[in-house]
Each structure stands twice: as structure tokens, then as C-alpha cells.
């Protein structure tokens, strides 16, 4: 099963556009290999509105966002997760609008109890005014939004389901232009696969990722994404059978022709798979498990 990516996406930067009834988007000018064309800030409702993933803390972007919202009343600021292209603008938007922020918790908070230290690339300044959990409902004039906890890309990732139109704002959990990077320790492949399976039991009609265009036929897309991850798992096991013990040996065999600058992200995804395979007892680490360590198939 092949993932049917859609990369034909164009939108004006820092300009609010209507994309569906009750949904507008504003594209931040922060394109990169990991953000695609940039962060797509979602504005839900009219008059009183909810803003989902306000984006980076960039003065020009903040000015454009405030201009787009000047005739609105921001009632909620919703954060899918705390990467720096999603949540940092929430602080300035909160100060300007007076709206409360909503999210699962600070960066890495889902792992804090066991002492896990997560990567430095997150927005560690964000602390939500309201900590949401799976199934929580957020209501505003004209919209009802359900919180869907989807750890995997990060431990604090939440999707937001707009009941009007059966639209799911998927953050970075599922994207139409690319697969999602799962970077340990905050990212977890086992959690990610479970969160994908969770979406198959829902009846959402359309996904709005924070990067790129919508996914209009969600269930086949999610099923293909799960199958893709299982294929990567099989490729890693094949590498181990062939004697490749290190991630640096596996990446060029699995990701043929991958741009050099993207190899570190690919290595992190392979590492995430290996950590899950170790938990399942199928792979053994010959050193302390890390990106530079050696791995082998577990003797049966």
C-alpha cells in the first residue's frame, strides 16, 4: 500500500484565506525541509474564534496574525504540540488577546515522571493555561472541539476534532505531504503506531495538518501510513540479518537517494523503530541504546 502524498500546495504567505466553512488559515513564512511551505495557522469560527497552532515567534508573522484577527475575538488558543514552529507565538497572542492557551502540557511533560530528558529543540517556555486530556471538549460560539490525544511525534501531541464538518486538525501527527519524523526520546514509535490506529476508529471526514494541504480521504491514508511504518520495520530487520549493526549503515540502505541534510531525521526514525523492536524483544542492543550504538537480532 503506497501513501498518496499531495505536494501540490500553494497559499499566499501571511494572508488569511477561507478553506472550508468556519475554517480559515494563515501561512507563516517559515518554509523548510521539515515545515514544508510553512506553519498553517488555523482560525476556527467567526467573531469569537479559536486559533490552532499560532506558529513561530517571528515579529512579521505576529503582525500578520494580529491583522487577520483584528475584527475577531480570540476565545481559545489551541496547541497541538510544543515544537518551535507551532507554539511560540502563543505567548504574544495570549498577551494581545487575553485568550487562554490549551494543550496537553509543557514540552516533554508526559515523560517527566520517569526522569526522561527530551531533546533541546522544543518550546520549553510554553505552559498551557488549561491542560487538556483525551476526550475533553472545548466549546465556543458556533464550534465544538474535541481533544484527541495522539502521542508519538511528541509525547504531548494532541489533535483537535471540530465536530462541525467532522474536521480533524492533526498538527504533525498525520501530514499529506510527508511522513512524520518520530525522534526519541520524546517521540516514540510504539505510541505513534497506536495513535495512528486510534484514528482508524474515528469518523473524521477531512484532516487539516498544520503543514501542507488537507487530507480528504483520511482512513486509507492512515492505513497506508501504518503499512509504511511496518515496511520500514521490515527493512531494519533485513539490515540486521545482513549484518548491518549500526544506524549509520542502515540509513543509506533503506533511504536510497535521500538528501544528505535529511539523513539525521531518517536516522532518528530508524532509532525509534529499533527502540520499539527492543521493547518487543525482537532486537537486542549491544551497547547502551543510542544513535551510535550497535544492534542485532535477538536470539530465539
pLDDT of residue 120: 55
Q: What is the CATH number of the domain that holds 72?
A: 3.60.15.10
Q: Tell how strand 295-297 and strand 137-140 pair up.
A: unpaired
Q: How far is CA 193 from the centre of its chain?
A: 13
Number of domains in the chain: 2
* CB-CB contact of 8 with 214 (8 Å): no
Q: Are residues 162 and 127 part of one domain?
A: yes
* CB-CB contact of 260 with 267 (8 Å): no
Q: What is the CATH number of the domain that holds 231?
A: 1.10.10.10
pLDDT of residue 289: 87
pLDDT of residue 114: 54
pLDDT of residue 110: 66
Those residues of the chain that have pLDDT short of 50 are 115-116
Q: What is the b/e burial string over 80-111, where b = at least 16 CB atoms within 10 angstroms of the residue's CB?
A: bbbbbbbbbbbbbbbeebebebbbbbbbbbbb
Per-residue pLDDT reduced to its tens digit, 272-286: 999 999 999 999 999
Distance CA 158, CA 132 (A): 9
Distance CA 268, CA 43 (A): 32
Q: Are residues 167 and 233 part of one domain?
A: no
Burial of 49 (0-12, 13-18, 19+ CB in 10 A): buried
Q: Are residues 282 and 212 part of one domain?
A: no
Q: Are residues 168 and 72 part of one domain?
A: yes
Amino acid at each position: 500500500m503506497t501513501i498518496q502524498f499531495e505536494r501540490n500546495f500553494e497559499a499566499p504567505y501571511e494572508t488569511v484565506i477561507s478553506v472550508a466553512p468556519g475554517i480559515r488559515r494563515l501561512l507563516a513564512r517559515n518554509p523548510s525541509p521539515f515545515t514544508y511551505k510553512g506553519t498553517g495557522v488555523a482560525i476556527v469560527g467567526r467573531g469569537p474564534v479559536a486559533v490552532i497552532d499560532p506558529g513561530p515567534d517571528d515579529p512579521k508573522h505576529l503582525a500578520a496574525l494580529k491583522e487577520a484577527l483584528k475584527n475577531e475575538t480570540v476565545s481559545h488558543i489551541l496547541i497541538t504540540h510544543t515544537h518551535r514552529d507551532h507554539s511560540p507565538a502563543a505567548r504574544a497572542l495570549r498577551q494581545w488577546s487575553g485568550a487562554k492557551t490549551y494543550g496537553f502540557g509543557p514540552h516533554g511533560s508526559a515523560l517527566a515522571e520517569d526522569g526522561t530528558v527530551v531533546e533541546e529543540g522544543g518550546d520549553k517556555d510554553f505552559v498551557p493555561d488549561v491542560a487538556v486530556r483525551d476526550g475533553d471538549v472545548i466549546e465556543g460560539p458556533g464550534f465544538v472541539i474535541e481533544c484527541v490525544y495522539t502521542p508519538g511525534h511528541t509525547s504531548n501531541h494532541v489533535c483537535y476534532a471540530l465536530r462541525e464538518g467532522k474536521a480533524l486538525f492533526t498538527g504533525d501527527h498525520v501530514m499529506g505531504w510527508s511522513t512524520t519524523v518520530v525522534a526519541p526520546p520524546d517521540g516514540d514509535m510504539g505510541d505513534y503506531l497506536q495513535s495512528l490506529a486510534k484514528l482508524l476508529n474515528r469518523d473524521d471526514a477531512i484532516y487539516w495538518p498544520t503543514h501542507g494541504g488537507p487530507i480528504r480521504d483520511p482512513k486509507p491514508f492512515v492505513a497506508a501510513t501504518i503499512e509504511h511504518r511496518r515496511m520500514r520495520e521490515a527493512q531494519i530487520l533485513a539490515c540486521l540479518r545482513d549484518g548491518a549493526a549500526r544506524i549509520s549503515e542502515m540509513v543509506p540502505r533503506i533511504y536510497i537517494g535521500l538528501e544528505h541534510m535529511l539523513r539525521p531525521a531518517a536516522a532518528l526514525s530508524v532509532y525509534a523503530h529499533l527502540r520499539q523492536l527492543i521493547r518487543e524483544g525482537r532486537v537486542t542492543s549491544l551497547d547502551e541504546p543510542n544513535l551510535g550504538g550497535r544492534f542485532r537480532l535477538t536470539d530465539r
